[in-house]
Amino acid sequence: MARVTIRDIGQMKADGKKIPMVTAYDYTAACLADQAGIPILLVGDSLGMVVLGYDSTVNVTMDDILHHTKAVIRGAKNAMVVSDLPFMTYQVDSSQALTNAARLIQEGGAQSVKLEGGESVAETVHRLVEAGIPVMGHIGLTPQSINTFGGYRVQGRNEVESAKLMRDAKALEDAGAYAIVLELVPTPLAGLISRRLNVPTIGIGAGPECDGQVQVLHDMLGLFTDFVPRHTFQYAKLAEAIKSAFARYIQDIEGGAFPTEKQSFGMDESILEELMALP
């Protein structure tokens, strides 16, 4: 099976086929998601919170994203891999953005990059696309700007904000973005934007009218327990299963139930006898 491309993603919208997307940060998760048939894997800067333990995505560096992108690429054989450009790796100017995006493609092996912002980054998006780097946009709640927003809140509920999001979406499409993430956007507005655009929208906390959905792996599998976002549906509760396994492991070690002969290895008894005879 050939790797999913941006053309395939666009065709999914044209065909009315919903687009599933999840984050992945390591080889094993990438293998499992890829084998399940997820068409897009995002090496998101959300790894700062769910993998590295930061309070936000702001602390994530290029080295962090590159490291995890390389691991995901080794596991994903069919899915398209998208890597986030971290905070302040593309905002200075388009040359800085081009250099860092090129690293994610060339060194990391990603097929595309994602960056946050609308009209303010449209010129940068255009420069990247012209250079042959596919770009996924991201508007609405943009986590890298959390200090500006003052918290994780829905964007676009009033006339000014909603009109700006409409302009942002169109600016990104005109600049050449092949898809746009809508985060924490009211469902009616997300639906309107999705219908107005020719490129797919990928929602997270933006309702069912988007062309696709993205979820943080650790949220949907119940691995991250610090908090559960309202927009998340937990398809599994792996944190409880893992803690239960650890508790049983402790019990088996302390009680002598593990390891058994089945998990152990023997040796030639004659060699052991010779060793025991040594001074």
Dig out the tokens for 26 from the structure.
């390591």
Break the chain into its structural domains and give their ranges: 6-237, 241-277
Can you give the pLDDT of all 279 residues of the chain as single tens digits? 799 999 999 999 999 999 999 999 999 999 999 999 999 999 999 999 999 999 999 999 999 999 999 999 999 999 999 999 999 999 999 999 999 999 999 999 999 999 999 999 999 999 999 999 999 999 999 999 878 777 778 999 999 999 999 999 999 999 999 999 999 999 999 999 999 999 999 999 999 999 999 999 999 999 998 888 889 999 999 999 999 999 999 999 999 999 999 999 999 999 999 999 998
Q: Does an H or E element contain 42, and which?
A: strand 40-43
Is 209 labeled as catalytic in the residue annotation? no
Helix-then-strand count for the chain, H and E: 12, 8
Distance CA 112, CA 129 (A): 10
Select which of 183, 209, 254, 274 is catalytic. 183
Write down the pLDDT at residue 150. 75
**Considering only CA atoms, which of 219, 170, 266, 215 is closest in space to residue 51?**
219
Tokens linked to 126: 């255009």
Q: Candidates 3.30.70.2520, 3.20.20.60, 3.40.50.2300, 3.40.50.300; correct CATH number of 6-237?
A: 3.20.20.60
3-state helix, strand, coil in the chain (%, to 5): 45, 15, 40
* pTM across the whole model: 0.95
Residues 110 and 83: beta-carbon distance below 8 Å: yes
